[in-house]
């Protein structure tokens, strides 16, 4: 499963970060997942929870933030979120727009508690 690989790389990143803050507890990790990334947020959360179960990161919460597909207008240069597959520019109505985002898959933040 695709999500399992992602969950374990997230956990690896958290582990690496935790090593730089000895004694600190990582409470929460945020992941930004674009709608075009082909990742199921629920499956990702499920995989993550099963990975951390019984480890030192058992109480670490994964927060998946979904981001929409974004397009940029070729006329007025406005960037907008695509809703319901409407690809035309909401400002000027131009139909030639280019996909500029929505396939990201990245860590957005780590919430660390220092003693
Ligand atoms: Zn426009």
For the chain, give the longest Cα–Cα distance: 55
* Distance of CA 105 from the midpoint of ligand 1 (Å): 27
pLDDT of the residue at 22: 87
pLDDT of the residue at 99: 96
User: Residue 54 is part of a domain; what is its CATH number?
Assistant: 3.30.2320.50
Specify if 44 maps to a domain.
Answer: yes
Specify if 89 maps to a domain.
Answer: no
Eight-class DSSP state of 99:
E
What domain range includes position 19? 2-68+102-113
* Distance of CA 82 from the midpoint of ligand 1 (Å): 13
Nearest residue to 4 via CA among 40, 32, 53: 40
* Distance of CA 34 from the midpoint of ligand 1 (Å): 22
CA distance 66 to 40: 10
Nearest residue to 102 via CA among 33, 31, 34: 34
* Distance of CA 54 from the midpoint of ligand 1 (Å): 52
* Distance of CA 72 from the midpoint of ligand 1 (Å): 8
Specify if 108 maps to a domain.
Answer: yes
Q: How many domains does the chain have?
A: 1
Mean pLDDT by 10 residues, the chain (115 residues): 91 92 91 95 96 94 96 97 94 97 95 87
pLDDT of the residue at 1: 55
List residues, by chain if needed, whose CB lies under 5 Å from ion ligand 1.
73, 75-76, 89, 91-92, 94
pLDDT of the residue at 21: 86
* Distance of CA 11 from the midpoint of ligand 1 (Å): 41
Q: Which two tokens stand for residue 41?
A: 């947020």
């Amino acid at each position: 499963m695709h999500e399992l690989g992602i969950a374990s790389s997230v956990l690896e990143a958290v582990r690496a970060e935790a090593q730089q803050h000895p004694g600190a507890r990582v409470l929460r990790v945020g992941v930004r997942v674009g709608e075009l990334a082909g990742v199921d947020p629920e499956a990702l959360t499920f995989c993550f929870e099963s990975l951390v179960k019984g480890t030192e990161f058992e109480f670490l919460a994964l927060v998946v933030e979904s981001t929409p597909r974004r397009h940029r207008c070729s006329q007025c240069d406005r960037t907008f979120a695509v809703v319901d597959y409407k690809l035309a520019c909401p400002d000027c109505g131009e139909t030639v727009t280019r996909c500029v985002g929505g396939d990201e898959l990245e860590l957005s933040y780590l919430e660390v508690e220092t003693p």
